[in-house]
Amino acid sequence: MAAAVSAALSLPSSSKSTSLPTRTSIISPDRISFKKVSSFAVQRGGSWGKGGISESPGDDRGSGEGEVPYREGQSIGVIADGVDKNGKPHKLRLYSIASSAIGDFGDSKTVSLCVKRLVYTNDQGEIVKGVCSNFLCDLKPGAEVKITGPVGKEMLMPKDPNATIIMLATGTGIAPFRSFLWKMFFEKHDDYKFNGLAWLFLGVPTSSSLLYKEEFEKMKEKNPDNMRVDFAVSREQTNEKGEKMYIQTRMAQYAEELWELLKKDNTFVYMCGLKGMEKGIDDIMVSLAAKDGIDWLDYKKQLKKAEQWNVEVY
C-alpha cells in the first residue's frame, strides 16, 4: 500500500552561509508543531549530475541561510543508496520541497519533503517497490542522504505580498504549496508580509490522505480574510450530478469567481501533481472563457508569458 510520509532532512551548517544576505525571519508560535519528524544528516553532493549544489550565488539560489539554500517552490534531487540492475548508482529523483526557505525549524538547516511510497504490481504479478520513494520512506533518523539541487524556476512564489495566489494540488503535489503557505502565514519576515488572497484547492483520494489538513485549517482560522481552502476527496465525495469529486469538479463550483480572479494582473495560478489534472482544469476554463468570447488556450499563453499560470505536473 502507498503511504505519504513527511520527513525533515537536516542540512549541515556552513561558514559559507555568512556570505548570503541576512534577513529577519521568525516562525510564528501559531504553527503546528510536529509530533513525528525524522531528521537525517545530508552529505554535500556538488558533483552529482546536473543538479549539483550551487557553489556561487545567483538568481536560483535560495534565501535560506544553511548550506543548501533554496526558494519556496523549488525541488531537490535525491540519490538512493545502492546500485541499479546494471550495477550503476541509482539516478536521482526529484522531490518538491515542502518547507519554506527557512525550514520547518526556522534555522535554515532542514528541508522537508512529502514523499509517497510507490508500490505496485507489475504485469507478471510481482510486487515492485519504487527505488527512491521507498529508500526515503525507510530512512532511519541520523542516516545520510545524497541530495542535489535545489532546482526549478516554474513554481517560484510571487514576490508581491498583495497577490492572489491560486494553488491547485493533487496528492503529494501539495508540497510546494505548503512551502508557500508557511512563508505567508506561519512566519514573520522583515521584507514580506502577505496581505493578498491564498486559495488552495487540494485533490486526494480519501480523507485520510488529506495531507497537512490541520496546518491549513490553523492558518485559515487565524487569517480568515487572506486564505481559502477547498478539498476534493475523489473516492468519498461527488458533486450534485453524482460525479466523482476531482479537483476540477470542486473548482467548477467556484467557476465564475475563479474566472473573475483570473482577469486580474496580480493573480497567479500554480498547479502541481498528477498530469491528468491539467486537462481537467483546462476543460472548465475553456467554457468559462468562451462566455466572454475569449479563447482559453490563447489566454493561457498570455498568462504563462506573464508568469501567472505555472504548471509542474508529472
Q: Which residues form the catalytic set?
A: 95-96, 272, 312, 314
88 Cβ neighbours under 8 A, 6+ residues apart? none
Whole-angstrom CA distances from 181 to 94, 101, 201 are 21, 11, 13
Beta-bridge mates of residue 43: 146
Per CB under 6 A, the segment of 6-14, 114-122, 197-205, 294-302 that binds ligand FAD is 114-122
Per CB under 6 A, the segment of 156-164, 169-177, 181-189, 290-298 that binds ligand NAP is 169-177
Residue numbers in the known binding site are 96, 116, 172, 204-205, 234-235, 244, 273-274, 312
Nearer to ligand NAP, 108 or 249 (CB): 249
What are the cell numbers at 176? 510546494
Burial of 220-241, coded b for 16+ CB within 10 Å and e otherwise, reads beebeebbebebbbbeeeeeee
Q: Is 235 in the site for ligand NAP (CB under 6 A)?
A: yes
Residue 4, helix vs strand vs coil: strand
CA distance 289 to 276: 21
- Are residues 136 and 115 in contact, defined by beta-carbon separation less than 8 angstroms? yes
Q: Is 133 in the site for ligand FAD (CB under 6 A)?
A: yes
Q: Is 99 in the site for ligand NAP (CB under 6 A)?
A: no
> Residue 93 touches which of ligand FAD, ligand NAP, none (CB < 5 to 8 A by kind)?
ligand FAD
> Residue 280 touches which of ligand FAD, ligand NAP, none (CB < 5 to 8 A by kind)?
ligand NAP
Q: How many residues does the chain have?
A: 314
Q: Is 247 in the site for ligand NAP (CB under 6 A)?
A: yes
**Contacts with ligand FAD in 268-307 (CB under 6 A)?**
none
Identity at 107, one-letter amino acid code: D
CA distance 297 to 3: 36
Q: Is 130 in the site for ligand NAP (CB under 6 A)?
A: no
Q: Is 69 in the site for ligand NAP (CB under 6 A)?
A: no
Which residue shows C-alpha cell 485549517? Answer: 217
Q: Is 172 in the site for ligand NAP (CB under 6 A)?
A: yes
99 Cβ neighbours under 8 A, 6+ residues apart? 8, 110, 111, 112, 178, 179, 182
Nearer to ligand NAP, 130 or 196 (CB): 130
- Are residues 167 and 200 in contact, defined by beta-carbon separation less than 8 angstroms? yes
One of 116, 146, 220, 228 touching ligand NAP (CB under 6 A): 116
One of 280, 288, 299, 308 touching ligand NAP (CB under 6 A): 280
Binding site for ligand FAD (CB under 6 A): 75, 93-96, 114-116, 118, 120, 122, 130-134, 172, 175, 312, 314
